[in-house]
């Protein structure tokens, strides 16, 4: 098959590279010429495990191409995947302008039958919008179909997730498009859910809203555990063995973040509002999430005895490990709260570009440098390299041996033995 992918971000680049790896020809299109140039030379703009190998394999085999020329891809492809951003608008709804622009641009080059597949996360009903845009611009005799094919990959394991999805959702009114997409995805061996576009779009929002709900739920339970002296890790374990609940997403922390969960929750609330339903439950999920940043800051403040003028050494800026993505990172939200309360912050992250500046944050070249002379260590992203550090050295570098482990990642017994005051979340 020949596939054009519009947008070479986390989703588009992984989609194009993985389809090429599966033996198809993939043409990845982006509006940012500099990014395309780098990708042509095999330079990957994001930190994503395994992605460089897949991209290089595709380039070497000649099955993966990068271009700014959308027409080059669309004219010769059977599938056109839209993988452009859907950022939040001011009112929380999803801004569809990139998707709409992509649809306008695609329509200019459609000369024969295509399946136009939307992989961006979009409000329910957006497939109709894309269909209308393309239809209005094409002569009636040119056939095309629209499908919604939401993406569920996780940053940090995006290539694995694409190749081993829990399920593939295909939403279309066209049997022809459903058949072609089913053939495309069948080799992955995942359950295929073929449904209508609105249902497919809702599956994506409902899934992300549910995951966010689990996180806020366990954060709320963790905060109560802090009060009553229970251990949330064991509570989550005890809950997780119940097959109706499961273990995933029951890890307390500084709140959820990243480019998807917060924006998708807000967008679903906005969709609900638009249909006269007040999604109070999901508003609560977001409120708990916002409050969780302050819960973490409050722990640091209490342990160091006021934040004004204190130096806090922070480990982790990315919104989760194995990615350099800081979009809506809870680490940054917590740090902003620390700064607002007068603290100085020196931060280290293994993957976030050391040359990148963040207002008010001093960057450190290593984990121990970050805590040098610090009044407390605050772990915000659970990178593996933090687990087995020489904590005696860490202790000796610090002005005061205080650790707030916002991910419950470190070993409290070891740290207490070494003389640290240790506090996690909910235990």
Q: In the complex, which residues of this chain contact ligand NAD (CB under 6 A)?
A: 6-12, 29-32, 35, 83-86, 98, 101-102, 105, 120-121, 151, 153, 155, 259-260
Q: How far is the CB of 15 from ligand NAD (least distance, A)?
A: 9
For 244, residues 6+ apart whose C-beta sits below 8 A from its C-beta are none
* Total count of residues recorded for the chain: 427
- From the list 250, 284, 227, the residue with the least C-alpha distance to 426 is 227
Could you give the CA distance from residue 249 to residue 195 in angstroms, rounded to a whole number?
27
Could you give the CA distance from residue 74 to residue 29 in angstroms, rounded to a whole number?
10
Residue 227, classified by CB atoms within 10 Å of its CB into exposed (0-12), middle (13-18) or buried (19+), is exposed
- Could you tell me the strand order of the sheet in which 168-171 lies? 64-67, 25-29, 2-6, 79-82, 114-118, 144-148, 168-171, 192-195
Could you give the CA distance from residue 3 to residue 79 in angstroms, rounded to a whole number?
5
> φ and ψ at 61, to 5 degrees?
-75, -10
Give me 403's structure tokens.
């650790």
Q: How far is the CB of 100 from ligand NAD (least distance, A)?
A: 9
Give me 115's structure tokens.
């399946």
Q: Which is nearer to ligand NAD, 77 or 121 (CB)?
A: 121
Which helix (H) or strand (E) covers residue 367, if one does?
helix 367-371
Catalytic-labelled residue, pool 28, 83, 260, 265? 260
> φ and ψ at 209, to 5 degrees?
-65, -35
Q: How far is the CB of 319 from ligand NAD (least distance, A)?
A: 10
Q: Which is nearer to ligand NAD, 101 or 223 (CB)?
A: 101
Whether 260 is a known active-site residue: answer yes
Q: Which is nearer to ligand NAD, 150 or 252 (CB)?
A: 150
Q: Which is nearer to ligand NAD, 259 or 408 (CB)?
A: 259
Q: How far is the CB of 210 from ligand NAD (least distance, A)?
A: 15
> φ and ψ at 356, to 5 degrees?
-80, 135
Q: How far is the CB of 260 from ligand NAD (least distance, A)?
A: 5
Q: Which is nearer to ligand NAD, 144 or 348 (CB)?
A: 144
Give me 153's structure tokens.
């990959």
Give me 131's structure tokens.
């269909």
Q: How far is the CB of 120 from ligand NAD (least distance, A)?
A: 3
Q: Which is nearer to ligand NAD, 97 or 417 (CB)?
A: 97
What one-character DSSP code corresponds to residue 93? S
- From the list 173, 103, 108, the residue with the least C-alpha distance to 132 is 103
Q: Which is nearer to ligand NAD, 36 or 334 (CB)?
A: 36
Could you give the CA distance from residue 419 to residue 101 in angstroms, rounded to a whole number?
58
Q: How far is the CB of 40 from ligand NAD (least distance, A)?
A: 14
Maximal C-alpha separation, the chain:
77
Q: How far is the CB of 35 from ligand NAD (least distance, A)?
A: 6
Q: Which is nearer to ligand NAD, 102 or 285 (CB)?
A: 102
- From the list 343, 267, 261, the residue with the least C-alpha distance to 298 is 343
Could you give the CA distance from residue 410 to residue 388 in angstroms, rounded to a whole number?
9
Q: Which residue is nearest to ligand NAD (CB)?
A: 9
Q: Which is nearer to ligand NAD, 7 or 16 (CB)?
A: 7
CB 93 within 8 A of CB 123: yes
Q: How far is the CB of 106 from ligand NAD (least distance, A)?
A: 9
Give me 31's structure tokens.
């509006």
- Catalytic positions are 260
């Amino acid at each position: 098959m020949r596939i054009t992918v519009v947008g070479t971000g986390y989703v588009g680049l992984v989609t194009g590279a993985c389809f090429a790896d599966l033996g198809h020809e993939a043409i990845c299109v982006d509006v940012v010429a500099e990014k395309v140039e780098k990708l042509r030379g095999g330079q990957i703009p994001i930190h994503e495990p395994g992605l460089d190998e897949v991209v290089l394999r595709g380039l070497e085999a000649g099955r993966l191409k990068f271009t700014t020329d959308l027409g080059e891809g669309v004219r010769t492809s059977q599938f056109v995947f839209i993988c452009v951003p859907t950022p939040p608008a001011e009112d929380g709804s999803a801004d569809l302008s990139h998707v709409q622009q992509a649809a306008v641009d695609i329509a200019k080059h459609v000369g024969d039958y295509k399946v136009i597949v939307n992989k961006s996360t979009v409000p329910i009903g957006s497939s109709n919008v894309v269909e209308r845009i393309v239809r209005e611009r094409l002569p009636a005799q040119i056939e095309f179909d629209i499908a919604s094919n939401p993406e569920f990959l996780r940053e940090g394991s995006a290539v694995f997730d694409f190749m081993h999805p829990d399920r593939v959702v295909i939403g279309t009114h066209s049997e022809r498009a459903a058949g072609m997409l089913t053939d495309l995805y069948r080799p992955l061996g995942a359950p295929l859910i073929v449904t209508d576009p609105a249902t497919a779009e809702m599956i994506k929002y409902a899934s992300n809203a549910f995951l966010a709900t689990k996180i806020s739920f366990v954060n709320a339970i963790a905060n109560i555990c802090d009060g009553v002296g229970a251990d949330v890790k064991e509570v989550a374990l005890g809950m997780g063995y119940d097959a109706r609940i499961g273990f995933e997403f029951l890890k307390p922390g500084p709140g959820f973040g990243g480019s998807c969960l917060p924006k998708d929750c807000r967008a679903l609330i906005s969709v609900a509002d638009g249909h006269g339903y007040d999604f109070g439950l999901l508003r609560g999920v977001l409120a708990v999430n916002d409050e969780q940043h302050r819960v973490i800051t409050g722990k640091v403040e209490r342990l160091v005895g006021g934040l004004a003028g204190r130096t806090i050494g922070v480990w982790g800026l990315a919104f989760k490990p194995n990615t350099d993505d800081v979009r809506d990172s809870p680490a940054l939200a917590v740090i902003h709260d620390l700064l607002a309360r007068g603290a100085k912050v020196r931060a280290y992250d293994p993957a976030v570009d050391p040359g990148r500046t963040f207002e008010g944050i001093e960057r450190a070249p290593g984990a121990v440098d970050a805590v040098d002379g610090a009044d407390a260590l605050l772990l915000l992203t659970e990178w593996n390299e933090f687990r087995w550090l020489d904590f005696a050295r860490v202790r000796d570098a610090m002005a005061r041996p205080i650790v707030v482990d916002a991910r419950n990642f470190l070993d409290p017994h070891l740290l207490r033995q070494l003389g640290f005051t240790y506090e996690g979340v909910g235990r």
